[in-house]
Amino acid sequence: MKMFEEIFGHGPTVTARAPGRVNLLGEHTDYQGGYVLPTAIPQQATVRLAPNGTGEHHVYAADLDEHATFPVGENAAGGFARYVAGALALGGAREGLNVHVTSDVPMAAGLSSSAALEVASLRALRDLGVLDADDEALALLAQRVEHEYVGVKSGILDQMASTFARAGQMLFLDTRTLHRETLPLPAGSEVLVIDSGVPRQLADSGYNERRAQVEEAARLLGVPELRDVTDPAWVEGLPSPLRERARHVVTENGRVLEAVRPGVSPERFGELMNASHASLRDDYAVSHPVVDALVAALQAHRDVYGARMTGAGFGGSLVALVRAGTAAAVGDAALGAGDGRARRVVP
């Protein structure tokens, strides 16, 4: 892999990093004001940059060996550079920068490789003295990159997780108020993450469609957001498929709130994860047969408390809560249930 100096002939002024995330519970709730429970994964994006004295940004993605050059303030970038270009524009870069990007967060796997890149880019701008923003404002700016430069109407889960979550701990986030708490994992447990290897086909259009459906459900129920539905029975009068979509969001919020009760056992936490998967598969319809097969293999393992798909879905990754010390062996035992492309990401 080519380093900054090799590409640009001088060293970087700043280096900033941000991790990917895995969401333990609270899926597809964050664009309806709901609750989420992510943790950081060890993999991270690293952005190095330095002013180049020109009117153009030069961005180099070291892992892909790809260059992108575009005028300051213009949204002329495509591919990986959209995330960086958006961060540079919204982060207020007014002169040309040389930017070197590297990341070991698996791409298109539902582990927030894009949020990691957005947050790391904005942190680099902040370290350079270009951007004046606290961490919360930075996460919100990263979300705008996703909306305005990538075209996915995402919630705030990924950018807040990349900014605030720590590996080995859970970040309980209220996505309406942005109130957050750092919590320990259930006693005696650890996290296993597997990338199914299934490319996330139609993920963006499917995501935006789900979002529109639950917005319509909230409108029909006369609430600002499904977060405001306090009795799951309310959704049963909705027409299908809005009923199923809303049922998922409402019951998922309930699962997160139960999971963060003090002293929840890993067994109960695992049951909530299993129920979350069934809800995402049957009511929200965002799982995939290969992911379902991997989840079933994990759920059948004696050292697994619970397992589910994670992230937006349509392929992508799975997360399991397992007995401490067993994650690598459990993961390796389950990989064969996929279609040959699955691999362990954590540990």
Q: Would you name the residues annotated as active-site residues? A: 158
Helical pair 81-90 and 135-145, crossing angle rounded to 10 deg: 130
User: Does 246 participate in binding ligand GAF (rule CB under 6 A)?
Assistant: no
Per CB under 6 A, the list member of 312, 319, 330, 345 interacting with ligand GAF is 312
Strands 169-174 and 97-103: unpaired
Per CB under 6 A, the list member of 28, 100, 200, 301 interacting with ligand GAF is 28
What SS3 state is found at 28? coil
Backbone angles phi, psi at 32, to 5 degrees: -130, 30
User: Does 270 participate in binding ligand GAF (rule CB under 6 A)?
Assistant: no
User: Does 195 participate in binding ligand GAF (rule CB under 6 A)?
Assistant: no
Distance (Å, rounded) from C-alpha 106 to C-alpha 60? Answer: 18
Give every strand in the sheet of 169-174, ordered side by side: 35-36, 169-174, 180-184
| Residue labelled with tokens 């919590």 | 183
Residues 297, 277 contacting (CB under 8 angstroms): no
Only one of the segments 25-33, 42-50, 53-61, 180-188 lies at the binding site for ligand GAF (rule: CB under 6 A); that segment is 25-33
What SS3 state is found at 71? strand
User: Does 38 participate in binding ligand GAF (rule CB under 6 A)?
Assistant: no
Only one of the segments 21-29, 57-65, 83-91, 261-269 lies at the binding site for ligand GAF (rule: CB under 6 A); that segment is 21-29
In this complex, which beta carbon is closest to ligand GAF, that of residue 106 or of residue 311?
311
User: Does 155 participate in binding ligand GAF (rule CB under 6 A)?
Assistant: yes
What minimum distance in Å lies between the beta carbon of 210 and ligand GAF? 9
What minimum distance in Å lies between the beta carbon of 2 and ligand GAF? 30
Contacts of 29 (CB under 8 A, 6+ apart): 35, 36, 155, 175, 226, 227, 249, 252, 253, 256
User: Does 283 participate in binding ligand GAF (rule CB under 6 A)?
Assistant: no
Distance (Å, rounded) from C-alpha 244 to C-alpha 221? Answer: 14
What number of chain residues touch ligand GAF (CB under 6 A)?
11
Q: Could you list the residues that contact ligand GAF (CB under 6 A)?
A: 23, 27-28, 30-31, 154-155, 157-158, 311-312
